[in-house]
Structure 1
Amino acid sequence: MANTPQSKKRARQTERRTAINKARRSRIRTFLKKVEVALAGGDADVAKTALQAAQPELMRGVTKGVVHKNTASRKISRLAARVKALSTKAA
């Protein structure tokens, strides 16, 4: 348990940051889920717009330190490839 005033303050700050980061992670997952659902549904246009909405959200997570840069890039790359494959198959 925190004893010094500084350690008590750090504990409070950590609690706040944890809540904020959890909300950010949840928001990112929601955007990614929308892309996944569109891909599963087979709708190329919806998947493309969902991916375009998810990309900045994922990269915002990188700048805020919630997600690692390479992880975000990998997720975007894999989703983009799946969306592209879906749109070529549909066309």
Structure 2
Amino acid sequence: MANTAQARKRARQAVQQNLHNSSLRSRLRTAVKSVRKAIDAGDKAAAAAVFKDAQGTIDSIADKKIIHKNKAARHKARLSAAIKSMAAAA
């Protein structure tokens, strides 16, 4: 339990920050999932359009240091590769 006023305030702030960061991580997962769903549907143009929107979300969350920039790059690279491989499969 926090004993000082400063520690109590930091504990309150940590709760709020955790809720905010959780919602941002959820947005990231939703963006990645939407691209995966578009890829599974088989429409390359639609998948590319959804991916373009998701890139902005992924980058913005990485800029806020919710996830590491390398993890963001890895997500984008794998999604991009999956979209590019759709042409070879089709």
Q: TM-score range by the shorter chain?
A: over 0.9
Identify unmatched segments of 5+ residues in structure 2.
Answer: none
* Distance (whole Å) between structure 2 residues aligned to residue 57 and residue 87 of structure 1: 25
Identify unmatched segments of 5+ residues in structure 1.
Answer: none
Task: State the aligned residue count.
Answer: 90
Q: Which residue of 2 aligns with 1:65?
A: 65
Q: Which residue of 2 aligns with 1:10?
A: 10
Q: Cα distance, 1:88 vs. partner?
A: 4.3
Q: Deviations over 1:39-66 (max 9, x none)?
A: 1111111110111011110111111111
- Letter aligned with residue 86 of structure 2: L
Q: Cα distance, 1:87 vs. partner?
A: 3.3
RMSD of the TM alignment (CA)? 1.0
Tell me the TM-score normalised to structure 1 length.
0.93
Q: Which residue of 2 aligns with 1:26?
A: 26
* Distance (whole Å) between structure 2 residues aligned to residue 74 and residue 59 of structure 1: 11
Find the residue that maps to 2:49 and give its secondary structure. helix
Moved over 4 A (4+): none
Q: Cα distance, 1:89 vs. partner?
A: 3.5
Tell me the TM-score normalised to structure 2 length.
0.94
